[in-house]
Structure 1
């Protein structure tokens, strides 16, 4: 690949962090920039602060990718007289686009919490709150054996036949079909009033429920009969590997005291430091993590029965009530520190996608955007 457009980078990021995973209140995607512009240098950061914008512009970045949105709430102006509008103007004047992957990156697989779990040495087993898997149909179509390949190809072209990382998936078995054309029929085989028997194939494929009409139209267009025998069965929906937070296991158990030290050593230092609640000598084997503010998941974590929960922005009363009912030990870290590992993950997504591009580079912001800057000396 000789050059990369901003649109190409957006496609790679959207593939890794699908916008459809974003919460309804969120604002993700391209904030400013021309999708047709060329991109060779990208910077990744947690927050689009003024200092980070300066760093990206000084580095000659064509694109700044961040986790936290610059424009999350509704705005009616991005005039340069406003703090956020001033940042947008500076980016545009410098030719640097801005792109956000927020709650879609939180729920992606892998996503923000996977990066945090890996940093802490956890073997991930699944999300804290899994999102439901895709709604799927199973199609079973009866077709003369000689026409089966044509109908199968038409179903695949319509978007059916995908199973995970595999495409053009189907199953079939042959049997005997029969029918008797009545007045008004226009049979391809047989005659009005005479029973007909033939060897048929039962062809089964899986397809997303959202393309049901497209699959139906393709099947009817490719099938040789004017009346098609088919079934559409709505499949059960199972939890997916996507969703908020992650649950994992330590390779070897640690005391809460030692695991807390591991967390502090693994994450970038902040003035807020790392604190834990629970018996310091309690054995920790299973751990739930959530990058960013995670006290809304305390109930789900309690039900999982893990030994500890690592997240940010834990509040006094929810934490106290959680511990009073026997919830797992809590480890509270800085919000920025819990999400900083995602920057390395996002860099990896883009580096893999554009590894063959000359002069391609993804830089990690060196700015600590944690708002707390001072810790008391005594």
Structure 2
């Protein structure tokens, strides 16, 4: 039988917490990590109606995109909205787990799910996260000791690149030094200048392995005082980050892109709204699930012809569209845009449960938790 902590582990691997914004409150918001789980309900919002659905379906875990406790509570009362939800979760024996901005930025997360609606290809993050922090260690070793030093550094975590390990670069040269009084040199004599063949050895390493690699270098190097350089490498952009930028399979007028997008999203009262020239030809599209006007300046730095996001405010949108050559805008309902991620997350849970040989029932909620329920005029 699976336990809550097993599902938490799967979510952590798929949507690393390190990708979350520092203001976010992701992870297990309510529940016992050791409680058994046979059924999961997936939804965008942890509202009272969604919790009631979880109780009806017999779910022991509610996986939501939005956190339940994003802002601090000073009291848990049944007569207040958050308190009522907490009471219902606890009384129903239901844990609540949130994957929010970590799922926004992760590969195969919210941004990719929204990009899938338009079939975008050749995708890249709109605001990429930096790749892993790497160092390079460079040392100088007598030729007959090179392999032993490389082995020791590799065992300490250096020299791994993708599916390869023990990756190193070596080049011959000449080293020189003069042992001073008190030294016990491996080569040469105290007070005498020594020149000797040496091999320059270079390996990359995760920055978190720095201390262990340097200990291994000093322990394996034959010199009493080995010379080395430790260089911090510039991080490459990763395939994770907020938003996605990609190409349409074929260019389309802006109004047609907006129509296709609206048809591919769950129906809502407000629907999609297009800003800019409806006849403009769109080849490249930037998307961001959830509120996205904070990334308007980032969009201007791309080759996007159209930006799709939610919760665009009047003045930022107006000012953006007034810029020469600015992309068109499509504003889509927040809930609808992010709902596209739920089937992806469900597939991941189903696959992980199958790999673990565990029985798990999953249900994607279709309950519309968009706050707007009816539209008038316009």
Q: Do the two structures share a fold, i.e. TM-score over 0.5?
A: yes
Paired residues for 1:273-288 under 5 Å: 273-288=271-286
Change (3 A) 1:368 1:141: same
Q: Which moved more, 1:67-76 or 1:344-353?
A: 344-353
Change (3 A) 1:156 1:93: farther
Partner of 1:338: 337
For residues 297-328 of structure 1, the C-alpha deviation after alignment (integer angstroms, 9 at most, x for no partner) is: 22221232421111111122222222222321
Q: Cα distance, 1:338 vs. partner?
A: 0.7
Cα root mean square deviation, aligned: 2.6
Partner of 2:358: 358
Task: Answer yes or no: is the 8 Å Cα contact 1:117–1:124 preserved in 2.
Answer: no
For residues 266-316 of structure 1, the C-alpha deviation after alignment (integer angstroms, 9 at most, x for no partner) is: 111111111212222211111111101112222221232421111111122
Partner of 1:251: 249
Task: Answer yes or no: is the 8 Å Cα contact 2:15–2:99 preserved in 1.
Answer: yes
Q: Cα distance, 1:263 vs. partner?
A: 0.4
Q: Cα distance, 1:215 vs. partner?
A: 2.6
User: Equivalents in 2 of 1:169, 1:347: separation in Å?
Assistant: 38
Structure 2 stretches of 5 or more lacking a match? none
Q: Cα distance, 1:143 vs. partner?
A: 3.1
Change (3 A) 1:377 1:166: farther
1:369 aligns with 2:369: yes
Q: Which moved more, 1:145-154 or 1:262-271?
A: 145-154
User: Equivalents in 2 of 1:6, 1:189: separation in Å?
Assistant: 60
Paired residues for 1:164-313 under 5 Å: 164=162, 166-175=164-173, 177=175, 179-189=177-187, 191-192=189-190, 200-313=198-311
For residues 217-266 of structure 1, the C-alpha deviation after alignment (integer angstroms, 9 at most, x for no partner) is: 23223333321121112222333332221111001111112111110111
Task: Answer yes or no: is the 8 Å Cα contact 2:41–2:365 preserved in 1.
Answer: yes
Partner of 2:80: 82
The count of residues paired between Structure 1 and Structure 2 equals: 376
Task: Answer yes or no: is the 8 Å Cα contact 2:353–2:359 preserved in 1.
Answer: no
For residues 340-366 of structure 1, the C-alpha deviation after alignment (integer angstroms, 9 at most, x for no partner) is: 111122223333333222312332122
Paired residues for 1:4-83 under 5 Å: 4-83=2-81
Task: Answer yes or no: is the 8 Å Cα contact 1:5–1:37 preserved in 2.
Answer: yes
For residues 51-96 of structure 1, the C-alpha deviation after alignment (integer angstroms, 9 at most, x for no partner) is: 2112223222232111111111122233444321232233233332
Task: Answer yes or no: is the 8 Å Cα contact 1:124–1:246 preserved in 2.
Answer: no
Q: Secondary structure at the match of 2:372?
A: coil
Q: Secondary structure at the match of 2:24?
A: coil
User: Equivalents in 1 of 2:93, 2:158: separation in Å?
Assistant: 42
Partner of 1:328: 327
1:121 aligns with 2:129: no
Q: Which moved more, 1:109-118 or 1:127-136?
A: 127-136
Change (3 A) 1:164 1:108: farther
User: Equivalents in 1 of 2:12, 2:171: separation in Å?
Assistant: 39
Change (3 A) 1:335 1:77: same
TM-score, with normalisation over the residues of structure 2?
0.89
User: Equivalents in 1 of 2:223, 2:261: separation in Å?
Assistant: 65
Q: Cα distance, 1:136 vs. partner?
A: 2.1
Task: Answer yes or no: is the 8 Å Cα contact 2:21–2:101 preserved in 1.
Answer: yes
Q: Secondary structure at the match of 1:127?
A: strand
Change (3 A) 1:200 1:345: farther
Change (3 A) 1:218 1:290: same
Change (3 A) 1:15 1:81: same
Q: Secondary structure at the match of 2:262?
A: helix
Q: Cα distance, 1:174 vs. partner?
A: 4.8
User: Equivalents in 2 of 1:79, 1:219: separation in Å?
Assistant: 59
Change (3 A) 1:167 1:33: farther
Change (3 A) 1:234 1:181: same
User: Equivalents in 1 of 2:268, 2:99: separation in Å?
Assistant: 23
